Structure formats: structure tokens, C-alpha cells
Amino acid sequence: MDDTIAGTETARIPKQRGESLQEIAVRYAEERHWDVFPGTWLEAVDGVQRCSCGEPACALPGAHPAREDWATLATGSATVARRMWAKQPRASILLPTGRTFDAIDVPETAGFLALARMERMELTLGPVTCTPDRRMHFFVLPGAAAKVPDLVRKLGWPPASLDLVALGEGTYVAAPPTRYGSQGAVQWACRPTPANRWLPDAEELISPLAYACGRDR
């Protein structure tokens, strides 16, 4: 994959800037068996990068679904993915949650604190992304969205008191190297590797994540 943040050994991967978005989307489907679908893209308007949706004040320029029926478009077929990006090579790469994985969404500062804590605890992580709007997404087994609130309560936190949410069915995350307008690109904080093909359960990660979010309030 393309962009990766620096900072830890797990974050450094070879940059492959020659790859097209189509090639990367196809590899997500082929190598990780993740469903993918194309989102909006960036267009230059009077020298300014704007979202293809046409909304001047778009909150996620170039990084959100282009159609309301995006869930029906998502595919795990490399052939179909190649065909979709052939139609719009600049389309962002979006991954639906609630299928092959859910994602736990936390602030970037809490996410890095949790990563350091998980390393000390020798926990096995799945892939983790860092977005330009300073959020981190920890990939976990599907089903996390349903049980994370109760897991947080058992740790002594009212779920609404923490900036922590599990993304499941009906939502999505943007995959590297999708760009958010002029803010920058989504990057890997913990890249996909053969070692983390098998994702952790949310229950394995929730304690350090909740602790970090509590510290970050």
C-alpha cells in the first residue's frame, strides 16, 4: 500500500507511489479479501481542489460515497473492482465496515497512546489507519459495533463519556491512500501484513483504547 506514517517500526512500509488507485483497490480485494467501493474524487476548480459531489463546503472532500446505494456496490471481487476504478480512476477507496471487519474509531492522540500500551501488553493488532482529520481506526472482527458499548460500561465508563465508537454495518472507512481534500491522505499506523490477517476481537483491545480515550478527554 502507499502512504504510511512514521514513528514506529510497524508503521514503516515501502512506499509504492507508482501504484494507481485501481491497482491498490484490487490488491485490497485480492490480498485481504476486503470489500471495496469507489467514492468521490477531487477535481481542480479555479485552482482549488474540490469534491466531485459539487458541495463547496463538503466535510470530506474526495473521501465519501458518491451514491446513496454505495452498500450495494461494495465488492470483494478483484475483477469487479478493476472495472469500477477503470470508469473513474481518481475515485477514493472506501471499505464498508460490518462485513469482513468492524473498526473502532478514536482520536489520534488516544490512538497512539493506546498503540504504545498495546505494544507493552504484547497484544496482536490488526491494521490501523490514521486519517487527515486526526482520527484512528483499529480494524477488529465484525460484531464489535454491537458489543463495544457494553464492554466500555464493564470497564467503568459511560459510553457517551468517551470519544470512542465502533463502526459496523452501514458505515465505512477510507483506505490509504485516499485523500481528504487538501488535508492530506489516509495512512497506515499499523500496516496490513500476513501476521495480522486474522483480526483481533474488540474485547482484546477495548481496555487500552478506553483507558487512552479517558486520558484524552
3-state secondary structure 148-173: HHHHHHHCCCCHHHCCCEEECCCCEE
pLDDT at 13: 31
pLDDT at 4: 44
pLDDT at 117: 94
pTM of the model: 0.90
* Of 26-30, 46-50, 203-207, the least confident: 46-50
pLDDT tier at 5, thresholds 50, 70, 90: very low
Tell me what the mean pLDDT of segment 184-194 comes to. 93
Q: What is the chain's mean pLDDT, rounded?
A: 90
Reduced DSSP (H G I as helix, E B as strand, rest coil) percent helix, strand, coil of the chain, to 5: 35, 20, 45
The rounded percent of the chain whose pLDDT value lies above 70 is 92
